[in-house]
Structure formats: structure tokens, C-alpha cells
Structure 1
Amino acid sequence: MARAIMLQGTGSDVGKTVLVAGLCRLASNRGLTVRPFKPQNMSNNAAVSDDGGEIGRAQWLQARASRVPTSVHMNPVLLKPQSEYGSQIIVHGQVWGYAKGRDYQRLKPQLLDYVLESYDRLSKDADLVIVEGAGSPAEINLRAGDIANMGFATRADVPVILVGDIDRGGVIASLVGTHAILSPEDRRMIQGYIINKFRGDVSLFADGIEAVNRFTGWHCMGVIPWLPPAGRLPAEDSVALERHVANNGTIKIAVPVLPRISNFDDLDPLAQEPGVDLQFIRAGDSFPKDAALIILPGSKSTIADLLELKKHGWDEDIKAHVRRGGKLIGICGGYQMLGRVLRDPLGLEGEPSEIDGLGLLDVETEMAPVKTLSNNTALSVEYSVPLDGYQIHLGVTLGADCARPSTMIDGLPDGARSADGRVVGTYLHGLFGADAYRKKLLEEFGLVGGGFDYRSAVDDALDEIASALQQYLDDAWLDDLFTQA
């Protein structure tokens, strides 16, 4: 059985995902067989695992950091929000059901067996399993039936390191407060804590560490500085969109931020191109008239997001952009929005419905109950360059413009293009991660020299983060963790 450690946070977005990825890369660099594990994730940024199911994009990244194939068992329960009140439930990579928040709380005890089965499988094939919690164990109102934090840790007997985010303020209170409200059984699982996202002179926080130690009896495992390389990793959730700062690039690309936006890490390679000014358009904003390209990204609830797009008047902005000669690319749900009609006769996204699309491609989409899940090799028909990516979607799209496919996926035509080539749709996620495609696309707008090696940049960032953790984490703790694995 593998050795294991679990990182839990004093709250959401304290940096657990990046720290787990960094520890996975550090363990791999030391020659260990390591596996990431997250019992329950909530995200519309999903990936297709190597064994053919859906997992959180963060676990895909952590597996890359570990240099191992991805598996549905790395994220046995994935919640994909479909509305303000409910989520699709993915178990072992496949759709298991749908539940509103209160109903899900009653379902969690049933899901613990799936979680423990997956953890057991991973443990048999690894020296070390590094587990990521979700949210915070301090949410004691959710402790009954918990599978994401202490409910898992106590059942699987996995020791915990608590992560606090000093950048948001109140880190002493958040650590000490977590200690105060945990039950004795849960509190005994915590070995120590990490202070994350520190800026400035760490010696100025010595009294803070002493205070936390005095109130909790826990040991500080390290103070991690703000890690700029984390900004080069794929985004996990929509919090990253709120923090995005546009570059001063010469090529302006606009993206609407809709309530159920999904797989928006598709856009990360463009955000890192020095010549690109990627702008996320939010409620109340208009699309810039000088945008060279508008991208409609994926959506977990395409019809609801299309209604939202129309409510803001963005449909008229997008049509005006195309009339001015601008380019428009729709990916997955964004592709479906470009057509004449979207139908959901079975109510797969909510109530049975039919809605007019943007009418910019001569295609129609009907939602179908069987979800397409696949990793793919592909070819860009536009630029005759190789692609690889993945598909996660409901729905079948057909129409006259499909005679002009945008891509060939595993040898079969995919997507559609308008007659003038300015409107393009595809079901292939990962399009912009293909360096040759991204280079050709940007050359259309006069940007020469784009198309850096995106995948190498991600790996370099993981190695930089691993080196930082080696430098700033407690040496004795790391040695104990890795040598006994």
C-alpha cells in the first residue's frame, strides 16, 4: 500500500491544486511513482482520461506533473454545475445522475464507496498518493457524510497538511479558527500547516508562525512565496477569469464570460502569447469593435448560456463583428450557438426546449443522451496542420456548412465553416494548444513569430514550482514523506 498525504485548505482557492501538482513533480523527479487523487471535485473544466472517462482538469494537470497516464480513479466524483442550484454528477468518469445541493448531501454516503475503491486502486500502483481536498474542512455544516475532506481522511487514515492563503489576509485566524472548530477526531489528522502565496520578507511573519503554533500545537511545514510559474498552468476554475489581466498585445481577442462557461483553459495558450491581448467580456460590457477575433468557448448549459448571451445584447455585437470582417470561432457549446437552431427535446439541460441560434452557420444541433468522450488526433482543414485534443459534448450538429469541416478528427470530418471562412465551429477542445495551429491563426491577423512551445512551457512551470517547494518546505518533512514512500 502506498504512503499518502492530503492537502486541505482553510478555504477555496488557497492554492491546493498547484501545491499538489508541484509535490507530484518533485516526487517524480526523485524517482517515485506518484499518483494524484481528489475524492470530489466541482468544476466545469473537465478532461478525458486515458481510460476514457471525465475527470477534473486539475487532476489531468497533476497526472502530467506525476508523469503518469490519467485515470478516472484520480477523481472518482466530479460535480459539473448546470444551474445555480444543481450539478451533473460524474462517478468513475461517467454520468451517474443529477442533483440539487440539498439532495446531493443525502447522496454523498453512497458515493464514499466509489471514492474508497478508487483510492485503493491508485494506492496499489504507486509509492506515494498525494490527495487534494475540496473547499475546507472548516465547513462543519457539511461534515456529515463528507467525502471530500475529513470524511475521506479519517476513513482512509490519510494524514493532512492544512494550507492557508496569506495573500487574501486573515491567515492566522483561518488556521487557528479551523483548529478551534474541528472535532478532536478530525483535528488529530492534521500533521501541520503550510502558509501559501507569501509576498515580501518572510522573517516579518515569524511572530505569526509562533502565534499559530502556540494556539494550535501544529508545526509549520513551510512558507511558500507567490509563485509566478503558477500563472502558466491551465486554469482550474472561473476564479482565474476574474483575475485575468489583459496584455498589451497588438491582436485583440474577445471572449464572453457566460454563467456555465466550461473548458476555458482552451484559452490559456492564447493568453500567454506576447502579441495577444485576450479580453474576457463580462455582464455590462460590450465587445470591442477593434477585436480581430471573438471566441465562443464551451458551455455546460448551452441553451441557458445562449439566452444569457442574448440578454446582454452580445448576439448583436457578435453579428456586427462578423459583418465588419472579423473572425469568429466557436468551440463545443460555442459551436452549437453559431447555428440556426438548438433543440433539447429530452430536457437534457433542463426543461425540453428549442431556441434560435445566432444563425451564423447553416447547421442545427439536437441534444442527444449519449455523451461523446474521447481523446483525439486531428488535422486543421483551414491550415493543414496537426492537432490533438479531446471531445466532451452532448448533441449532434448537422447542416449544409458541415460540408466545409473545420477539422478532421481521427479521419472523420468535424465542425463547420461559413463560405467566406470567417465563422468556424468545432467540437475539438485543445485547439489553441497546438503550436502550429496557433501560429497560423495569429499570422492571419499579422502577428508573426507566435506559436511558442506551450506544452514545454507547462512542464517548465511544473519544474519551477517543484524546485520552489524543495527550497521552501521543511526538509525533514519532505525527506520523511519521500523516503518512506
Structure 2
Amino acid sequence: MSRTPAVMVQGTGSNVGKSLIVAGLCRLLANRGMAVRPFKPQNMSNNAAVTADGGEIGRAQALQAMGCRVPLSVHMNPVLLKPETDTGAQIIVQGKRFGTMRAREYGKQKAELLPRVLESFSRLEAECDILLVEGAGSPAEINLRAGDIANMGFAEAADLPVILCGDIDRGGVIASVVGTHAVLEPSEQDRIKGFFINRFRGDVSLFDDGMREIEARTGWAGLGVIPWFADANKLPAEDALDLSHGQGDGSIRIAVPVISRIANFDDLDPLRMEPGVTLELIGPGTPLPGDADMVLLPGSKSTIGDLAFFKEQGWDIDLKAHHRRGGHILGVCGGYQMLGKTISDPDGIEGTPGTVEGLGYLDVDTVLTPDKSVVEADGTHIPTGAPVSGYEIHIGRTHGPDSASPLMHLQSLNSPARPDGAISADGRVCGTYLHGLFTDDRFRKAFLAGFGTVSDLAYSRRIDTVLDDLAAHLETAFDVEALMRIAENR
């Protein structure tokens, strides 16, 4: 019985461009008329997307699904780790919360998740012509090899051929590819059928000798040198490390404090692309600017911890001065919770049970609860009457006098319409649980109009165009036919 063609893209390290290349290959093959599916057995990110059935997957797999022009599925990323502290993470399995574990505890557990991962892989195999699988980190991390389900452990379990991605922009790419070969077991070396070099600036022919050296030292086939793709920054980033410090030169200045566990930060991407907006990301130790029109408090994976981090930077003092000068404040999800009077964690979900004081700009209180809301939602932005769509992904319930002036009216599948968020008495502070709201062109246009800026950006259409451009970029630099032969001969 023949198996569905499939190939796994692994990298010489984290952030070498695997996710972007897989997204581009998904669109390239979809443009050729193929039914393509992305798959990542294990991902680590606080930037999650919500599926139609109320599950969570990594944002990179959501972008890859967009490349394939197919709906999101929890099976595209069956294990998602969402860091809550430096040593612990929330574990999402096939879209649902599985538990919270410390790194060592998860290390003992992950092999037991392999059957669930293989089940998801088999489901996708049954519905497509080819599967493009993305590894996590690097197979060279041999200290993590025991029980691995992210790289070679999964490749062996699913009997997948592998191609290796190296990033020349960070330097030392020959050593990173040849070094990866050196630390792998012979069976793993044989599983890798080819390699390619990503993010080359300038004349790619200058690396011809480098390609020949790598081929001679590894025995792997070179599949191409991918030139730098300048529009990569227009696509949603998965890692907070990819966030730039600022963007734009518009008349509206929006400042975003980058908290330590910032989550779902792709909320910011449409604003970053707006010509009329200057979006400034404020790093630790840097004061909030005194001339911002709005301070936007983003989502957080650990609201109480990030509230403490916010205050440690002195941002609470800066925010008070901003508000006193007449500035606006918007909190999204965790940022909304921080803007209230108190946050209570009676069950110790985020750490030691107890209650902490919030920033006090909204007369609401939040109680963190074990149940998690993960839903897509549509509705209306009450101040402007504009339609809005997005998704919720949070724990906790927020209520108080300011809830009587909600920011949104929302509707989710199989649930009654409900108010969401709150607006302060002076109208300059508001909060919402709705992520993805700025992706909606209708809402964003109305929101920015309130600050005197005209928006003509068609955000989703822009992302779709960039994916097509990326596919065309790969067509000229990557040996796609060799990739297909590798995938078909698994």
C-alpha cells in the first residue's frame, strides 16, 4: 500500500526560517493544484490561533494552513507548549488544555504523547496529496533526543525523509550544517536526504563553493540557496524574539509595552502595516513615551507575573502620566485584566494563590478560573457600531461596574450573544477579551477613524499576496522537483 508523500523540514537551530519556508512551499504546491497540509508535531509558542471547533494551534501552522488555503485543524499541531514561567508551560494536546508541567516533568511525559501525535498525522495523511512537516529547534540538540517527538524521534516514528535548513544570515552556516551531520547517529544522517541554505543576501553564486563543501562533507544533496525575502516581516511572527522595536511613520503613535510573557502578539501586525500608524514596541528598562496617543497593553500568558513585571519597569508610573495628559489606553485579554482593580487566583493557576491589585483604570475585578474560553467570535464594536470578528483564548472571568459599559457585543457558535469588555467612565480606557480584532478591516478602519486616520489596508488580502510572492520566490531558488521526489520515496 502506497503512503501519502511527506517530508520533514528540520533546522540547524531555532529561528532559521523553517516556518516561513514551509508556509511558502505550502502555497507553492497549492498553486500547482495539490491538496497540501502542514504539520508540526510539537511547537512552543504563546502566539496561538483558534480553530473553528475551539482548539488551539501554533500561529505558524495557522499561517501555513492559509498557505494551503484550508481551514485550521487541531491536528496540524497536536502538541503546543505555552510557556508560563522560565521552567514551566501549559501543555495543549490536540487543541485542548492537557495540564501545566515543568520542563523536567514534560520530558518524562512527552514520549507518552507520541501516539496522539501519530494519530493526528494519520488523519491529515488521509485528506491530502502531500504533507509538509516542520521540526522544532534542531536535531543537533542531542541532549534532548531521549523521547523526542519534535525532530528525529517523530521522523523515525512516522518513517519520514528529512531536509535540513541552514541560516546563512546568522553566520557559520557551513559549520552548523556539517556540525549537525557530525552529532547525528548514522541512521539519522541517512534519513536526511538534502539541505538548503536560507536568507542569503547578494549574489547566491558566491556560495557555490560552500554548497560543494557541505555536499562533500555530509553526502547530502544541496536543494538550493534561498535569497533574502524582504517581505517576510509582513507575515505574522511566531516568536516574540522576532518583534521589531517599532514600525511606521504615521500620525497616530501607539506604544506597546513588551511584557515578559507577551501572548498573541500578532494582534499588532495589522497596526504595524498601517501607513497612518507609528507602532512602537517598548522594551524592558525603557520608559513609555510621553507623546503616545494610545498605550496598548497586549495579551499575556501569565497575567499576574506580567503585571508585576510591568510595575518593575516603572511603566505603571508612565501610564499614569499618559492618562493624566489625556492619552487613551486599550487592554487586550491579559492587558484587559491588568487594567482592572484586582486579579484573584484562588486556585493557584498562575502560582501562589491570592489576590493582587491591578492598575485600577477600569472598575472591574478578575477571577482566574481553571476553565478556559477558546472560541471564535463575531459581533459589534459598540462605540462605532462597526462589525468585528476575532477569537477568545483566556482563563478568567471579569466583572464590575464598568462591565455595564461593554466595548463589544459578541456572538460565538452555539452560544448566546453576550457583552464583552469594559469602558471607563471618562471613555479613554477600555478593555476586551477579543484577540484578532485589528485583523478585521471594518473594525480597524472605524477604530483609526476615531483618531483622525483613514485606513485603506486590506490586511488579509495583503497576507495572501505576500504568500504568493513567497511561493514565486521559492520557485526560482529551491529544487522543488527534488523535494517532491524525496517526499514520494518515503
CA 1:88–1:148: 2 relative to 1, 3 Å? same
> Aligned to 2:438, which of 421, 432, 435?
432
Deviation at 1:123, TM superposition (A): 0.5
Contact 1:47 1:55 in 2 (8 A): yes
Q: Contact 1:137–1:149 (CA<8 Å) still a contact in 2?
A: yes
1:155-189 residue CA offsets vs partner (Å, 9 max, x unmatched): 10111110000000000000000011100111111
Give the CA RMSD over aligned residues.
1.4
2:101 maps to what in 1?
Answer: 99
CA contact (8 A) 1:378 1:388 kept: yes
1:296 — aligned with what? 297
Task: Give the distance between the partners of 1:174 and 1:118, measured in 2 at CA.
Answer: 31
The residue type paired with residue 256 of structure 1 is P
Q: 2:89 matched to 1:83?
A: no
1:453-472 equivalences in 2 (<5 Å): 453-472=458-477
Tell me the residue number matched to 1:477: 482
Alpha-carbon distance between aligned partners in 2 of 1:323 and 1:26, rounded to the nearest angstrom: 52
Match of 1:323 in 2: 324
Rounded Cα–Cα distance in structure 2 between residues aligned with 1:168 and 1:455:
30
| Residue equivalent to 1:407 | 408
Once residues 227 and 487 of structure 2 are traced to their aligned partners in structure 1, the CA distance between those partners, rounded to angstroms, is 22
The separation in 2 between residues aligned to 1:388 and 1:459, in whole angstroms, is 18
1:177-326 correspondence runs (5 A) = 177-241=179-243, 243-326=244-327
Q: Which residue of 1 aligns with 2:384?
A: 383
Shift of 1:481: 6.1
Aligned to 2:16: 14
Q: Which residue of 2 is the match for residue 442 of structure 1?
A: 448
Note closer, same or farther for the CA distance 1:117–1:324 as it changes in structure 2 (3 Å cut).
same
Q: Identify the residue that residue 422 of structure 2 maps to in structure 1.
A: 416
Shift of 1:441: 2.2
The answer as to whether partners of 1:370 and 1:394 remain within 8 angstroms in 2 is yes
Secondary structure at 1:368 match in 2: strand
Q: Is the 8 A contact 2:42 2:77 kept in 1?
A: yes
Map of 2:161 onto structure 1: 159
Distance verdict in 2 for CA 1:483–1:7, change over 3 Å: closer
Question: Compared with structure 1, are the counterparts of its residues 470 and 61 closer, same or farther at alpha carbon in structure 2 (3 Å cutoff)?
Answer: same
Q: Does 1:172 align with 2:174?
A: yes
Q: Render the CA deviation track for 1:424-468: whole Å, top value 9, x for unaligned.
A: 1000001111112222222222323x2400000010011100111
CA drift at 1:423: 0.4
Spell out, residue by residue over 1:287-341, the C-alpha distance to the aligned partner (whole angstroms, 9 max, x if none).
1110011100000000000011111111111122111111110000000001001
Q: Secondary structure, in 3 states, of the residue corresponding to 2:371?
A: coil
Counterpart residue identity of residue 405, structure 2 = R
For residues 336-373 of structure 1, the C-alpha deviation after alignment (integer angstroms, 9 at most, x for no partner) is 00100100000111111210111100100000111001
8 Å CA contact 1:27–1:482 kept in 2: the answer is no
Indicate if the aligned counterparts of 1:436 and 1:451 stay in contact, CA closer than 8 A: no
Distance 1:99 1:7, change over 3 A: same
Distance 1:429 1:474 in 2: 38
- Residue 484 (structure 1) shift: 8.4
Q: Distance in 2 between matches of 1:476 and 1:71?
A: 28
Question: How many angstroms does 1:50 deviate by?
Answer: 2.1
Counterpart contact for 1:229–1:462, Cα < 8 Å:
no
Which one of 136, 140, 146 corresponds to residue 144 of structure 1? 146
Q: SS where residue 362 of structure 2 aligns?
A: coil
Letter in 2 for 1:396: R
In structure 2, what is the Cα distance between the partners aligned to 1:185 and 1:5? 16
Instruction: Return the letter of the residue paired with 1:456.
Output: R
**What's the CA shift for 1:412?**
1.4
Q: Displacement, 1:259?
A: 0.9
User: Which letter maps to 1:447?
Assistant: T
Q: Measure how far apart 1:218 and its partner are.
A: 0.9
State the 1:275 CA deviation.
2.1
Please state if 1:56 is matched with 2:61: no
**Structure 1 residue 245, shift from structure 2 partner:** 4.0
Shift, 1:67, TM fit: 0.9
Is the CA contact (8 Å cut-off) linking 2:246 and 2:278 kept in structure 1?
Answer: no
Instruction: Tell me the CA shift for residue 232 of structure 1.
Output: 1.0
CA distance in 1, matches of 2:7, 2:17: 16
Q: 1:390 to 1:236 in 2, by over 3 A?
A: same
- Structure 2 Cα separation of the partners of residues 484 and 273 of structure 1: 45
Question: Which amino acid is the alignment partner of residue 67 of structure 2?
Answer: A
SS in 1 for 2:170: coil
Contact conserved, 2:38 with 2:132, CA < 8 A, in 1? yes
Deviation per residue, 1:67-90 (Å, 9 max, x gap): 111111110000000001111111
User: Do the aligned partners of 2:6 and 2:487 also contact (CA within 8 Å) in 1?
Assistant: no
Q: CA deviation at 1:122?
A: 0.7
Q: Distance in 1 between matches of 2:346 and 2:146?
A: 38
Give the C-alpha shift of residue 98 in structure 1.
Answer: 1.4
CA contact (8 A) 2:6 2:488 kept: no
One-letter amino acid of the structure 2 residue matched with residue 474 of structure 1: D
Are residues 1:113 and 2:115 paired? yes
Find the aligned partners of 2:16 and 2:248 in 1 and give their Cα distance. 25
Size of the aligned set, in residue pairs, is 483
1:217-270: CA deviation from partner (whole Å, max 9, x where unpaired): 1111111111122111111111112x4443332221100111111000000000
Indicate how the Cα distance of structure 1 residues 386 and 74 shifts in structure 2: closer, same or farther if over 3 A, else same. Answer: same
Alpha-carbon shift at residue 483 of structure 1 (Å): 8.2
